[in-house]
């Protein structure tokens, strides 16, 4: 048992060492639109996490950590990327601008949109299939992911910037205990950090992603827990219902145990990753994002 644990720690250390060799990449070399300064929090970045080339399958995931639009939780960014790397998926962890540093919508959306375009524009550099790039987010990062899933565009083919020419549409989405609505069941802290204390009804509707689903919304894996007291499970239910209404395929899992913000839950009270992780891998394999 101790030997197995030590081996797991060694493997994680080796993976982390490899991943940390990949430096964060600024999304806009000359500064983000609407930047309030030049501090680290004013510079949105992507950090690539690369799988072993021998097991790489050509799929990628842009990962949006949660944190209530106030901070970014490493276990919902780096840890997810390392987990995906184990299964041949390249991870790109997004550091997006935050309400705690004075940024409101649309800054956060500009960052995630740019991130998806950037990965697609540089797909050949990372041996990625540009038609197998997903978006993944947890909590407020799940809201940002759901916003991209419902507000993407085809890009501007006339743009001088090759990144801007790319589509921002993800090929699929993974939403982990996500904030979805800005209405009754929202997470109030996330809402205020994103929209301010007194947003207009128009803005509340626009960023209530369950109201923005169409038949073109990408397929999704959605999960949450009954025990979640921070982001009510109604958020996931409303998004799933909107997808069903528009005939968009999805998988919805509501687990009894787990609470909020648990990530992979490989810490007590769970001795192993929470069941959502395996269920998600099965779903990803079904959609040709895994090669194992």
* Cis peptide bond upstream of 269, omega within 30: yes
The SS3 of residue 261 is coil
Contacts of 1 (CB under 8 A, 6+ apart): none
Identify each DSSP E strand in 75-231 by its residue range: 90-95, 133-138, 173-176, 220-225
Question: Which residues, in sequence order, are bridge partners of residue 164?
Answer: none
DSSP 8-class letter at 42? G
Query: C-alpha 266: how far from its chain's center?
Result: 19
Q: How many helices (H) and strands (E) does the chain have?
A: 8, 8
- Rounded average pLDDT over 66-78: 96
Q: What token pair was written down for 186? A: 């929202």
**Which residue stretches of 103-187 are H helix?**
107-121, 140-151
pLDDT, mean over the chain: 92
Domain containing 22 — which CATH number? Answer: 3.40.50.1820
Query: How confident is the model over 92-117, as pLDDT tens digits?
Result: 999 999 999 999 999 999 999 999 99
Q: What token pair was written down for 279? A: 């269920």
Query: How confident is the model over 220-238, as pLDDT tens digits?
Result: 999 999 999 999 999 999 9
Total domain count, the chain: 1
E strand or H helix at 195:
helix 188-195
The SS3 of residue 240 is helix
pLDDT at 9: 43
Classify residue 146 as left (phi > 0), alpha (psi -120 to 50) or beta. Answer: alpha
Residue 291 inside a domain? The answer is no
Query: How confident is the model over 176-198, as pLDDT tens digits?
Result: 999 999 999 999 999 999 999 99
> Has residue 127 got a pLDDT over 50?
yes
Residue 28 inside a domain? The answer is yes
Q: How far is it, in rounded angstroms, from Cα 193 to Cα 166? A: 29
Residue 75 inside a domain? The answer is yes
> Has residue 86 got a pLDDT over 90?
yes
DSSP 8-class letter at 177? S
Query: How confident is the model over 259-273, as pLDDT tens digits?
Result: 898 999 765 555 567
Residue 292 inside a domain? The answer is no
pLDDT at 291: 76
* Residue 76, domain extent: 2-286
DSSP 8-class letter at 12? H
Asked whether the beta carbons of 110 and 34 are under 8 A apart, the reply is yes
Contacts of 171 (CB under 8 A, 6+ apart): 131, 132, 133, 134, 218
- Rounded average pLDDT over 247-252: 98
Q: How far is it, in rounded angstroms, from Cα 13 to Cα 8? A: 9
Residue 143 inside a domain? The answer is yes
Q: Which pTM does this prediction carry?
A: 0.92
- Rounded average pLDDT over 54-78: 97
Q: What token pair was written down for 191? A: 């809402």
Residue 215 inside a domain? The answer is yes
> Has residue 162 got a pLDDT over 70?
yes
Asked whether the beta carbons of 61 and 264 are under 8 A apart, the reply is no
Residue 46 inside a domain? The answer is yes
Residue 179, number of CB atoms within 10 A of its CB = 33
* Cis peptide bond upstream of 106, omega within 30: yes
Residue 67 inside a domain? The answer is yes
- Rg of the chain over CA atoms, in angstroms? 18
């Amino acid at each position: 048992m101790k030997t197995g644990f030590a081996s797991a720690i060694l493997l994680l250390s080796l993976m982390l060492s490899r991943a940390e060799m990949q430096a964060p990449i600024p999304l806009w070399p000359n500064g983000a639109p609407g930047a309030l300064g030049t501090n680290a929090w004013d510079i949105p970045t992507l950090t690539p996490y690369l799988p072993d080339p021998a097991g790489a399958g050509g799929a990628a995931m842009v990962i949006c950590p949660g944190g209530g639009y106030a901070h970014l939780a490493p276990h919902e960014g780096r840890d997810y990327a390392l987990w995906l790397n184990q299964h041949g998926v390249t991870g790109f962890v997004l550091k997006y601008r935050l309400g705690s540093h004075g940024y409101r919508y649309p800054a956060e959306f500009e960052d995630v949109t740019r991130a998806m375009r950037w990965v697609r524009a540089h797909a050949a550099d990372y041996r990625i299939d540009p038609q197998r790039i997903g978006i993944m987010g947890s909590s407020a990062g799940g809201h940002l992911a759901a916003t991209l899933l419902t507000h993407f565009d085809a890009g501007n083919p006339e743009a001088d910037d090759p990144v801007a020419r790319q589509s921002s549409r993800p090929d699929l989405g993974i939403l982990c205990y996500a904030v979805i609505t800005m209405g009754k069941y929202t997470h109030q802290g996330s809402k205020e950090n994103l929209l301010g204390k007194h947003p207009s009804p128009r803005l509340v509707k626009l960023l209530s992603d369950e109201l923005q689903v169409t038949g073109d919304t990408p397929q999704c894996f959605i999960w949450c827990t009954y025990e979640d007291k921070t982001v009510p499970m109604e958020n996931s239910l409303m998004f799933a219902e909107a997808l069903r209404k528009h005939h968009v395929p999805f998988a919805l899992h509501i687990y009894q145990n787990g609470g909020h913000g648990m990530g992979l839950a490989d810490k007590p009270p769970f001795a192993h990753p929470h069941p959502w992780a395996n269920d998600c891998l099965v779903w990803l394999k079904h959609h040709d994002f895994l090669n194992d």
